[in-house]
Amino acid sequence: MKRTCRGRGRIRAGLLVCAAVALQLFAGAAAKADDGYRLWLRYDPLPANVVKGYRARVSSIVVQGESPTLDAVRTELVEGCAGLLGSSVPLAEKVERDGALVVGTPQSSPLINGLKLERELTALGPEGFRIRSVKLGGRSATVIASRGETGALYGAFHFLRLMQTEQPVGNLDVSQRPRLRLRVLDHWDNLDGTVERGYAGRSLWDWDALPGRVDPRLRDYARADASVGINGSVLNNVNADAKSLSAEYLRKTKAVADALRPYGVRVYLSARFSAPMELDGLKTADPLDPEVAGWWKRKADEIYKLIPDFGGFLVKANSEGQPGPRTYGRDHVDGANMLAAGLAPHGGVVIWRAFVYDAKPGYDRAAAAYEQLQPFDGRFAPNVLLQVKNGAIDFQPREPFHPLFGAMPKTQMMLEAQITQEYLGHSNHLVFLAPAWREVLDSDTRAEGPGSTVARVLDGSLFGQRLTGMAGVANTGSDRNWTGHHFGQANWYAFGRLAWNPDTPPRQIADEWIKMTFTHDPKAVAAVTRIMLESHEAVVDYMTPLGLHHIMWGGHHYGPAPWENKFERADWNPVYYHKADAAGLGFDRTATGSNAVAQYSPAVRAVFGDPNAVPEKYLLWFHHVPWDRRMRSGRTLWDELALDYQRGVDWVRAARKSWDALSGVIDAERHAAVAKKLEIQERDAVAWRDACLLYFQTFSKRRLPAGVERPQKTLAEYMAESILDEDSRQ
């Protein structure tokens, strides 16, 4: 990558280069300033009175030392400060006036070295940072220091965020370190440029053009990641093509790794378990075969020669048709540990997915992962992590926490969240996912008594796991605004913020993101915050209230199809999940049914397993209950269900009104784009309500309660075709 903003003796020249680079950053953004390309790193000028306060604090930028990451720090601060403050802030070699911003590590910066911060920086680790207002040689300065250059970059982004959100920067004393070590985006990107479950255009990686041409957009991707602390990127789909491990594709991956590295983003690859057979004609991929183990070891050596900081392999094994150790009569531990042995000498990890389920007749899919993996607790190698989806089915609008959390104390466990909205209206519906993720993170597994939250399983404070992490299935693509829906950007942002600190309140995340992305207008911020914070609950209301799940149209998973029963595999059919009949609704996972509830610790089981104790939001997940069951509101189940669906529709209408009222505050282009999406969302919410209620009514045989609108179409019409039409694809 081209070096920018050089140091000693070349400050003026460096500044010009920086300014040029600054203009190039988000090149093309200039043509359409508010097309969403700049994400939350817009750096548009702050109001004059705010700038006045910051000017004295930010009068020069001092980043001593030379490296691609330090260049990135310089470039970001030069552009960010110039943009926010409305005029350039010079780079300097030393502190010559009040208001210097001094950034770096004790190794790179004699100024920072002189501050004797080693002990505190060591405690914060190479990605943590310290920001302090200090006196340097009698001048006031702000120091952003870290033990590692990536930490210094994170600190620079933190400082910029303070200004972007108009926070005081006068008397700073901030210490931060990430709670989780691996903060990774999983891209389900195929080598042909398509993205599985991607709704924002094509893949960001142009495999055909790589390694010769590296899209400059990759740097903006890396900047966005770094700005929220994301430090890893799995480039290819977990439904992996063995070719991604071929010498040809590894050279392409190296080019991507080189582009992301300055921003602290390491690349990982999804590994197809049968790759030794497909790439080199081995007779088997049996993990206990020495030839196979040797192949993987040599492959790891080959990769690390090209990419010394390669993160490791993500593996979907023996799931949905993918090969794995069980294909060869071995188990998950045999498979994961064999791969781990090849990566260990290089410091790489294996991220083994727990999304495994078999097509056994009469079983409960929600119980499958636990059955298959829990018995292996304590047997995975030290560089293996088990990546567990938030719930036991599959990224549903709402799921109770996965029973594996808390059940494998001797296994290093990561959370897999889905940022892309496979089951949540694709890139058409406005759904802010931070509250949903917090619901899982805050869930109490009770594994070690009260307070044994999923967040504490993940960060190692409950069981002492050394490797920690969180992965998010990315929602990025080649669309100009990256995520299809402008509000999809908020979920990318929120994922990074929660992976950095799983305790971050969703309200804070929304507030920051809105101010950085849309507006500082207090009324508008309040209105948009409200829309965002309420949105997840509303989508659950109009899609799957009270614990319903997986009742989407098959295949594309967009829109309602609770009637669907066409797939050969029972557990791919909505009817398998809701079990509606004349007696009632819901999946009995108690002792009278599948007894999957027994996989939770006794204290949790006692709550989830009791229809009178379970939170009603999970009622139909665990229980089959009569249509006339009295709910806590005093209403019957049928009436409650119907009113929940209606409430979801009402919410979308109210959100549309609130959004319309912001037309003068939000720029016209993004305002109109979001308004159009909300229109689709309302149409879809109505379809969800009508289709589900009409269908469930064929079992309940009850009238719709007062307050629920008459359906707009007949059940036959809804069943005739999915709502994923041309409009829904935009």
645 touches ligand GCV by CB under 6 A: no
| Residues 137-176 as x/- pattern, contact with ligand GCV by CB under 6 A | ----------------------------------------
Which of 164, 281, 304, 188 has the alpha carbon at shortest distance from 241? 188
Question: b/e for 134-152, b at 16 or more Cβ within 10 A?
Answer: bebeebbbbbbbbbbbbbb
SS3 312: strand
Amino acid identity at 495: F
Q: Which is nearer to ligand GCV, 266 or 316 (CB)?
A: 316
Instruction: Indicate the SS3 state at residue 498.
Output: helix
206 is catalytic: no
The C-alpha atoms of residue 301 and residue 304 are separated, in whole angstroms, by 5
Nearer to ligand GCV, 365 or 589 (CB): 365
Q: Which of 422, 444, 640, 644 is catalytic?
A: 422
Cβ 317 to ligand GCV, closest distance in Å?
11
- Residues that bind ligand GCV (rule: CB under 6 A) add up to a total of 10
Site string for ligand GCV, 428-447 (x = CB under 6 A): --------------------
Alpha helices by DSSP H, 564-626: 574-578, 602-608, 619-622
The residue with tokens 């950007």 is: 489
d(CA 534, CA 653): 13
CB of 238 to ligand GCV, least distance (A): 5
State which of residues 57, 197, 426, 656 lies at the interface with ligand GCV (CB under 6 A). Answer: 197
Among 67, 165, 239, 478, binds ligand GCV (CB under 6 A): 239
CB nearer to ligand GCV: give 129 or 423.
Answer: 423
- Binding track over 522-561 against ligand GCV, x by CB under 6 A: ----------------------------------------
Contacts with ligand GCV, 307-336, as mask; x by CB under 6 A: ---------x---x----------------
- Active site (annotated) includes residue 616: no
Smaller CB separation from ligand GCV, 474 or 652: 474
3-state secondary structure 359-394: CCCCCCHHHHHHHHHHHHCCCCCCCEEEEEECCCCC
Residues 60 and 106: their CA atoms lie apart, in Å, by 19
Give the pair of three-digit tokens for residue 674.
């979001």
Minimum distance, C-beta of residue 322 to ligand GCV, in the bound complex (Å) = 8
- Pinpoint the alpha helices (H) of 86-216: 110-113, 118-124, 149-164
Which residue lies nearer to ligand GCV by CB, 189 or 588?
A: 189
Residue 188 found at the interface with ligand GCV (CB under 6 A): yes
Question: Which neighbouring-strand residues pair with 470?
Answer: 183, 415
Of 164 and 318, CB closest to ligand GCV: 318
Q: Taking CB under 6 A as the rule, does residue 196 contact ligand GCV?
A: yes
Specify the residue, 117 or 356, whose C-beta has the smaller distance to ligand GCV.
356
Question: In angstroms, what is the minimal distance from the CB of 239 to ligand GCV?
Answer: 5
Q: How far is the CB of 617 from ligand GCV (least distance, A)?
A: 23
Residue 21 Rama label (left phi>0; alpha psi -120 to 50; beta): alpha
669 is catalytic: no
Comparing CA positions, the residue from 197, 187, 195, 196 lying closest to residue 256 is 187
User: What is the smallest separation between the CB atom of 643 and ligand GCV, expressed in angstroms?
Assistant: 30
What are the strands, taking DSSP E only, across 57-99? 60-62
3-state helix, strand, coil in the chain (%, to 5): 40, 10, 45
User: Of 78, 238, 339, 532, which lies in the binding site for ligand GCV, with binding defined by CB under 6 A?
Assistant: 238
Residue closer to ligand GCV by CB (options 160, 240) is: 240
Helices (H), 464-572: 488-500, 506-517, 522-543
- Between 270 and 411, name the residue whose CB sits nearer to ligand GCV: 270
Catalytic site residue from 286, 394, 459, 512: 394
Strands 173-176 and 182-186: unpaired
Smallest separation (angstroms) from ligand GCV to the CB of 190: 10
CB of 718 to ligand GCV, least distance (A): 22
Contacts of 138 (CB under 8 A, 6+ apart): none
The residue among 101 and 351 lying less far from ligand GCV, judged by its C-beta, is 351
Neighbours of 355 (CB within 10 A): 21
In angstroms, give the least distance from the CB of 476 to ligand GCV: 16
Q: Please choose, from the candidates 426, 319, 328, the residue with its C-alpha nearest in 3D space to the C-alpha of residue 369.
A: 319
Least distance to ligand GCV, CB of residue 460, Å: 25
Show the tokens assigned to 612.
Answer: 């009178």
User: Which residues from 366-405 bind ligand GCV, rule CB under 6 A?
Assistant: 394
486: contact with ligand GCV by CB under 6 A: no
CA atoms within 13 A on the CB side of 217: 17
Nearer to ligand GCV, 219 or 316 (CB): 316
The DSSP letter of residue 708 is S
In the complex, minimum distance from the CB of residue 416 to ligand GCV, in angstroms, rounded to a whole number:
8
Residue 258's DSSP bridge partners are none
Min. distance of Cβ 320 from ligand GCV in angstroms? 6
Question: Burial level of 559, CB count in 10 A (0-12/13-18/19+)?
Answer: buried
d(CA 698, CA 347): 58
Smallest CA-to-CA distance from 190 within 234, 232, 233, 240 is with 240
Q: Which CB atom, from 320 or from 727, has the smaller least distance to ligand GCV?
A: 320
Q: Active site residue: 118, 291, 320, 442, which one?
A: 320
d(CA 314, CA 576): 30
CA distance 406 to 271: 27
Tokens of 632: 């806590």
- What is the x/- site pattern for ligand GCV, positions 339-358, by CB under 6 A? ----------------x---
**Which residues make Cβ contacts (< 8 Å) with residue 717, sequence separation at least 6?**
none
Residues 6+ away with beta carbon under 8 Å from 526? none
**What are the residues binding ligand GCV (CB under 6 A)?**
188, 196-197, 238-239, 316, 320, 355, 394, 422
| Residues assigned a catalytic role | 320, 394, 422
